[in-house]
Structure 1
Amino acid sequence: MTLVLSALPSPALAWGKTGHRVVGAIADPLLTPAARAGVRGILGVETMAEASNWPDFMRSAPDDYWQHSTPWHYVTVPPGKTYAQVTPPPEGDAVTALRGFTATVKDRSKPLAERQAALRFIIHIIGDLHQPLHAGKGDDKGGNEVAVTFFGKPTNLHSVWDSGLIDDEQLSYSELAAWLGARITPADRRAWASIDPTVWIAESTALRDQIYPRDPALSYAYVYQNKARVEQRLEMGGVRLADYLNALFAAPRKRR
């Protein structure tokens, strides 16, 4: 994937390590046999939960590719706009990156290492786009500049959504994924079925505009108001990741 890149301020990571792993773990049992074989053929024994945080980890690598990868983790959609009404920046964004990495995974002529990196990014980006503050307004770096306290500790709104609300459960990623995955019904899967990132972004922007607190001192009341929202976005991210990979690795339809 070739993108024109420029140095940008680096926002906090989307979903913490636990959240990204939860999305990957929820998706895993929902894969079709073809998708499971496709993922294993590229990642080997590496699970999607394990792969999910690799793009965040690699952002600390010193080479320019990784130093300029930040824009691929989010989109910017000002209030009152849709993603379709916004022109992606020259350095790209999560949607353009997802498109490019999907093409790389499909291209069997590409080196395995390149396809591995692309698949890890796909897993990660789909998780990112279900975190509401990764559909940023464009004026506060996705809530990074919104100072709050969380149970008395100074932080920012983005970090609360990345990890604070999830880690408040004090569960491992596998425990949380098992709990959330067990709640997903066939009706949920049908209702959430979408491999269109603009749908995910529209949901995230609608939720984003509801979660900015009036009082910056966040504690039990904010957790109570948003626990179900966080959990549903993790569930939906897992379902959409599975649906996306199922479509990506599906056998081409034969022409009659």
Structure 2
Amino acid sequence: MRSIFVFVFTAVLLFNSNSYATKKWGPTGHRVVGAIADQHTNNKTKRHLKKILNHQSLALVSTFGDEIKADPRYKEFETWHYVNMSFDENYESSKKNPKGDLVTGIAYCKKVIKDDNASDADKTFYLKMLIHLLGDLHQPLHIGREEDRGGNDIKVKWHYKDTNLHRVWDSQMIESYNMSYSELAKNAEFLSKKQVKFLQQGSVIDWVNDTQKLANHVYASVQEDENLGYAYSYKFLNVARDQMQIAGIRLAKILNDLF
């Protein structure tokens, strides 16, 4: 079995060795998160989701948070996609963005969804945002450093083509694997109910702090202008897959609790 690491204060080994787990994911990554979440939502939750999303799947709406970036009317939500922290900080001690961040964005989405007085349109909008943001939370470079914009300013090469570290994790490593989101979701690691329950423990802030520890490891994994390719995928692709699976499992927990 591929291993999954969850970082709390130190890395905790869950299964076997050789992998770690806990920018936005690209479309494929977000859809994997949505599809895996659907595997772990209960029937009552599924009925609510169908009503609010007009029978659209979690995978389909999972990319909504990035799609609206093209519309200047939604500029206020840009800071919801990430948290910036230095290596020696956790979320509680870090300087908060006055415009909001992943933690405050997720909290606001949950508040609207639970509000009996909120309009159907608002519930739909913020549910789609919530689904997206839970994916972002588990992409390690979304809990990255402000000075390099979550790895966007760390220039590397992917199979000898210019790119940056954020983009490698966001999409290039996943797309190079050449599996669809449904294939990736279907072939996620089998986890027992006990393992799923373990991964769902903690708060959103705990999960942010977990992911930040993985982000520190990702930063240490490369040098500026380094060419990344098959060896890097061999080391880290399963980490990305584990992170998407954990995100889906935790998203399902939040949705089940909401409904």
Please tell me the TM-score bracket, short chain as reference.
Answer: 0.7 to 0.9
Residue type at the aligned position of 2:163: T
The DSSP-based 3-state class of the residue aligned with 1:83 is coil
1:187 CA displacement: 3.3
Give the AA of the match of 1:18: T
The amino acid across from 1:245 in the alignment is L
Where has structure 1 moved over 3 Å in runs of 4 or more? Answer: none
2:30 to 9, 15, 20: 20
Cα distance in 1 for residues equivalent to 2:128 and 2:45: 14
3-state DSSP class of the match of 2:162?
Answer: strand
In structure 2, C-alpha distance between the alignment counterparts of 1:195 and 1:60, rounded to whole Å: 34
Distance in 2, Cα, partners of 1:196 & 1:19? 22
Partners of 1:100 and 1:235 in 2: CA distance: 24
Deviation at 1:154, TM superposition (A): 0.5
Report the equivalent of 2:190.
Answer: 183
Residue pairs, 1:158-169, within 5 angstroms: 158-169=166-177
Q: Is the 8 A contact 1:195 1:243 kept in 2?
A: no
Which of 112, 120, 125 is the matching residue for 2:133? 125
Structure 2: 5+ residue runs without aligned partners? 1-22
Deviation at residue 195 of structure 1 after TM alignment? 5.5
**Can you list the C-alpha shifts for 1:80-134, whole angstroms capped at 9, x where unaligned?**
1110112421100111011111110011221111110100011001110000000
Paired residue secondary structure (1:82): coil
Amino acid at match of 1:126: L
Report what 1:214 is aligned to: 223
Over the residues paired in the alignment, what is the CA RMSD in angstroms? 1.3
Whole-angstrom distance in 2 between the partners of 1:160 and 1:187: 32
Distance 1:152 1:187 in 2: 43
Query: Conserved in 2, the CA contact under 8 Å of 1:195 and 1:244?
Result: no
1:190-249 deviations in whole A, cap 9, x for unaligned? Answer: 220136111211221111111121362111111111012111101100100001111111
Stretch moving more, 93-102 or 212-221: 212-221
Structure-2-length-normalised TM-score: 0.87
Aligned to 2:53: 43
Q: Distance in 1 between matches of 2:104 and 2:242?
A: 25
Secondary structure of 1:125's aligned partner: helix
| Residue in structure 2 matched with residue 140 of structure 1 by the alignment | 148
Secondary structure of 1:27's partner? Answer: helix
Q: Spell out, residue by residue over 1:34-64, the C-alpha distance to the aligned partner (whole angstroms, 9 max, x if none).
A: 211221221121111011001100110132x
Question: Residues 35 and 58 of structure 2 are in contact (CA less than 8 Å); yes or no, is this contact kept in structure 1?
Answer: yes
d(CA) in 1 for partners of 2:43 and 2:76?
A: 35
List aligned pairs for 1:49-88, cutoff 5 A.
Answer: 49-63=59-73, 66-88=74-96
Structure 1 residues 20 and 195, CA gap change in structure 2 (3 angstroms): farther
Query: What does residue 113 of structure 2 align with?
Result: 105
Structure 1 match to 2:180: 172
Aligned partner of 2:235 in structure 1 is 225
> What's the % identity of the aligned pairs?
35
Note if contact 1:194-1:243 (Cα within 8 Å) is conserved in structure 2: no
- Equivalent-residue separation in structure 1 for 2:147 and 2:95 (angstroms): 16
SS in 1 for 2:163: strand
Q: How many residues align?
A: 234
Distance 2:71 2:237 in 1: 34
Question: Which secondary structure does the structure 1 equivalent of 2:72 belong to?
Answer: coil
SS in 1 for 2:133: helix
